[in-house]
């Protein structure tokens, strides 16, 4: 009888140990997922949140003028999130979506900032003298392509822009994080 009780106690201890192991392993899954998160994201490289960011009320944008507006973007590198501002060029010719143009202010040549020269009605990059028309088309200089347009939409009378970076120095526009 004592032998049977001893066996039963041993069996119950074994079941307990198995149950605790299973529960322990299940509990560890979220921990492993959390620890491995940066590695699962593009091999651990940094990434940018690809969402539309509110930049301004459409009514506040001047008519038929290029305006440089800051776009605040969260860049993620593993667990680290860094907020950075990326200025974009915006021009509206009316309040509807089809009358708005949004261009990146990053020069497609080697990434310097592109500035608007109102007196000459053209964009200009000081680094190597690339010039672009008032629509962002290449006029002169080393830039292999026109200024990069950015995706945007108008929602509740506000302009939302999606920040995107493109490969520099190449003719064909190619997103940097593709
Ligand atoms: S970086 Fe703009 S012209 Fe070279």
Q: Quick one: three-class SS letters along 54-78?
A: EEEEHHHCCECCCEEEEEEEEEEEC
Residue 145: its H or E element? none
The residue whose C-alpha atom lies closest to atom 3 belonging to ligand 1 is 128
Which pLDDT value is given to residue 14? 66
Tokens 């907020």 locate to 83
Pocket, ligand 1, Cβ cutoff 6 A? 107, 109-112, 125, 127-128, 130, 141-143
Which is the closest atom of ligand 1 to the Cα of 168? 1
Q: Tell me the two tokens of residue 49.
A: 């949140």
In sequence order, what are the residues at sequence separation of 6 or more whose Cβ sits closer than 8 angstroms to the Cβ of residue 6?
none
**pLDDT greater at residue 125 or residue 33:** 125
Which is the closest atom of ligand 1 to the Cα of 143? 3
Which pLDDT value is given to residue 42? 47
Residue 80: its H or E element? strand 80-92
Q: How far apart are CA 32 and CA 26, in angstroms?
A: 10
Q: Could you tell me the distance, in angstroms and rounded to a whole number, from the CA of residue 106 to the centre of ligand 1?
A: 9
Which pLDDT value is given to residue 41? 47
Which pLDDT value is given to residue 123? 98
**pLDDT greater at residue 153 or residue 20:** 153
**Percent of the chain scoring above 70 in pLDDT:** 71
| Res 39 pLDDT > 60 | no
**Percent of the chain scoring above 90 in pLDDT:** 60
**pLDDT-based confidence at residue 7 (cuts at 50, 70, 90):** low
* Nearest residue to 146 (alpha-carbon basis) of 106, 92, 175, 86: 106
pTM above 0.75, yes or no: no
């Amino acid at each position: 009888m004592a032998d049977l009780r001893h066996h039963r106690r041993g069996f119950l201890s074994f079941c307990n140990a198995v149950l605790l192991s299973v529960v322990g392993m299940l509990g560890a899954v979220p921990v492993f997922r959390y620890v491995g998160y940066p590695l699962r994201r593009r091999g651990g490289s940094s990434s940018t949140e690809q969402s539309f960011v509110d930049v301004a009320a459409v009514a506040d944008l001047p008519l038929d003028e290029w305006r440089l507006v800051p776009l605040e973007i969260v860049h993620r590198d593993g667990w680290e999130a860094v907020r950075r501002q990326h200025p974009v060029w915006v021009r509206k010719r009316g309040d509807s979506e089809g009358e708005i143009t949004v261009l990146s202010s990053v020069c497609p040549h080697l990434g310097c900032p592109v500035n608007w020269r109102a007196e000459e009605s053209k964009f200009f990059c000081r680094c190597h003298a690339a010039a672009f028309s008032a629509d962002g088309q290449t006029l002169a200089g080393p830039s292999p392509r026109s200024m990069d347009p950015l995706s945007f939409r108008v929602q509740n009378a506000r302009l939302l822009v999606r920040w995107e970076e493109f490969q520099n120095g190449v003719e064909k526009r190619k997103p940097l994080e593709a």
